[in-house]
Amino acid sequence: MTEQLSNNPLLKPVEELVPYEAIKAEHIVPAIEFLLKDAKELIEQLITLERPTWDNFIEPMEYGTGRLWRAWNVVNHLNNVQNTEAVRAAYNTLLPQVSELSTWLGLNKELFNQYQTLHDSEAFQALNKTRQRIITEALKDFELSGVSLEGEAKKRYAEISEQLAMTGQQFALNALDATDKWTYHTEDADEVAGIPEQVLAAANELAEGKGWTFTLKMPSYLPVMQYAKNQALRQRMYQGYATIASEQGDKQFDNSENIEILLKLRTELAELLGFKDFATMQLEKRMADSPMQVIDFIRDLAARAKPFAEKDMAELTRFAQEELGMSSLEPWDLAYVSELLREKKYAYSDEEVKQYLPEDQVLSGFFEIIEQLFNVKFEAIEAETWHQDAKVFALKEGDKLLGHLYTDLHARSGKQSGAWVANERTRHLHRGELITPVVYLTCNFTPPQGDKAGLLRLDDVVTLFHEMGHALHALLSKVDEPSASPFASVEWDAIELPSQFMENFCYEWPVMQKLSRHQENGESLPRELFDKIVAAKNFQTGMQTVRQLEFALFDMLLHQQLKEQTIEDVLKLLDEVRQEVAVVIPPSWHRFPHNFSHIFAGGYSAGYYSYKWAEVLSADAYSYFEENATENLGTINPKAGEHFKNEILAVGGSLPAAEFFEKFRGRAADPSALLRHHGMVDESSEA
């Protein structure tokens, strides 16, 4: 190893924490290229083994290639949260090479034959069920990765795989840059009337003290849409957000061509592998059996939810006309009018609740609840991070270290929008030594101003609980083989189970008592205000449900298309879906697909339905806690938490999702819990 590589922080042993402060952009390419070469050489050695076993074949491969994937996870994370020009350039240089290795692995017949030989051997029968499942699933993955292809088809598969990776990355960069570059500045105090003081202070700081500068980042965008009295300002912000990365916005970031390329390549890839369409291919390893089953599931749920959505919309329109004198209700009015309606119906506002949710108190109570529920302990530790906002926690069970959690909670330039969790390092028992998981939890909340903690919206708190569900899935897994870890092998349409399950605790009184402290007088959230929040929990839940089903149906139908899709075809399909499912029809210039990163730059292509599919599981799982609630703690029942931890979180992907859910619940999932939790039950049927 050269001197340059020997001092490279990305090449630290996988057992150690990453020294983030030491990482410079110039470290990235040499480290990853070295690890790519090292991984390929290892595979070439392993495919020559005469009698592959778990110990001489799979374990060395998992550990050896684990160094590469851990380092690449770090680089990918920096690309998402610290997207400097230098990091972006390094990432874009490496992405084709990483994609090429992944494709080479999937197409490697000698490697496939080693798995098949092991599967057919007597040694396979002696393995535990988890290891048998890993080998069986790997053989399926090889088939889905084109291992049976020959000649030109094999070559074309490799080309498509690289093009898909690069085009998806460009889609994400266009969305990021279009969001970062868009601002609106005003010095007219009348124009910003109604916007909360904290938001105006941040906008004034961005404007360097001269008026106010607003952005499309959520801490700036959402409060304007909810509270700005000036309709023209709301329309300006709405149009900016609705046209991100499209020909209707800054044309240099237009994602139209990227969408067309991605859809064309996905269809071609599916055809190469012998599937009818891309959607069918994607469902090959999911709980759902077919695209039609998913479409029927979405349409059935939409048929049940749409009457409630229409009722929500009628109430909103009536309120706008009768109380606000608005002859018509435009899309940029919805959040504003909804907030006023909620204030009238339930006598509280989001802004009022925010005063009780300073970030430091929320986090303190949040960790306490997790600790009580799952019998674990978070300890803040000193460790190197990529930004001053990032914090590090060791998670322990008694004296035993379970893993590390890195949190990065605030919005800033150069950071992808949204909220997500990702693995840096996966749990692995290697030669008797346990390598514990390391997990990133990333959000985009309002940063603190001065010495005051940032205030969170209730939706932010729900997001935090959601993402922690994902993090706990990785951190509390007891699976010792990386290939059966939660994010590696839990079916995609079940991966949201723990995250959506955790959201429910935000509406429990014992929980809110721990989360809340008024920023001025220090008092906990009053019970009267909490009761209003619970009463309003299902406010406009019909509208919210059909909106998510709109995205899910659009995604699934889009990936069933066989003919080449133009951007006009894509927008036409979305319009048709809206006519069927939606109650809000946006303007013709709205360009939602151009910023739909979930399906064009993330892992949710032909998979957005997973949110609702998994919500059926999560709602029924939470029903178990409701059935076992205690008088003092409500659903924060440690016994129920231990059962959930052992039967859902700890098993990772060692069992099929349907199997581990039935072991937890004692039966298959009951869909009625979802509709009940959302208040979408006819009063007559409740009687």
Cβ neighbours for 463, distance < 8 A, ≥ 6 positions apart: 419, 443
Residue type, 504: N
pLDDT at 671: 83
Q: How far apart, in whole angstroms, are the C-alpha atoms of residue 215 and residue 194?
A: 17
- Measured from the Cβ of residue 450, the count of other Cβ atoms closer than 10 Å reads 6
pLDDT tens profile 479-507:
999 999 999 999 999 999 999 999 999 99
Q: How far apart, in whole angstroms, are the C-alpha atoms of residue 325 and residue 322?
A: 6
- Average pLDDT of each block of 10 consecutive residues along the chain (687 residues)? 79 95 96 97 97 97 96 98 96 96 97 98 96 97 96 96 97 97 98 96 96 97 98 98 97 98 98 97 95 96 95 98 96 98 94 95 97 97 97 97 98 94 97 97 91 91 98 98 96 95 96 95 95 95 96 98 96 98 97 97 95 95 96 92 98 96 95 85 51
Pair 98, 36: CB distance under 8 Å = yes
∠ CA(261), CA(262), CA(264), 5° rounding?
Answer: 65
pLDDT at 684: 43
Selection from 102, 104, 242 nearest residue 178 by Cα: 242
The pLDDT mean for the chain works out to: 95
pLDDT at 71: 98
pTM over 0.75: yes
pLDDT at 1: 54
The pair of structure tokens assigned to 174 is 């266009």
Active site (catalytic) residues: 467
Pair 15, 435: CB distance under 8 Å = yes
pLDDT at 683: 53
Q: How far apart, in whole angstroms, are the C-alpha atoms of residue 58 and residue 41?
A: 15
pLDDT at 449: 80
Q: What percent of the chain has pLDDT over 70?
A: 99
Q: How far apart, in whole angstroms, are the C-alpha atoms of residue 30 and residue 33?
A: 5
Q: What is the three-class DSSP state of 184?
A: strand
Residue 424: φ, ψ to 5°: -95, -45
pLDDT at 450: 79
Q: What is the DSSP letter of 273?
A: T
Q: What is the three-class DSSP state of 388?
A: coil
Q: How far apart, in whole angstroms, are the C-alpha atoms of residue 70 and residue 82?
A: 18
Cβ neighbours for 291, distance < 8 A, ≥ 6 positions apart: 277, 279, 280, 283, 556, 559, 560, 606
Does an H or E element contain 392, and which?
strand 391-397
Selection from 511, 478, 485, 494 nearest residue 645 by Cα: 478
Whole-Å CA distances, 540 to 37, 311, 323, 456, 507: 54, 9, 18, 21, 16
Q: What is the DSSP letter of 394?
A: E
pLDDT at 3: 57
Strands of 391-397's sheet in order across: 377-381, 391-397, 400-410, 438-445, 420-425
What secondary structure does DSSP assign to 630-664, as a single string? BTTTBT--HHHHHHHIIIIITTTTSS-HHHHHHHH
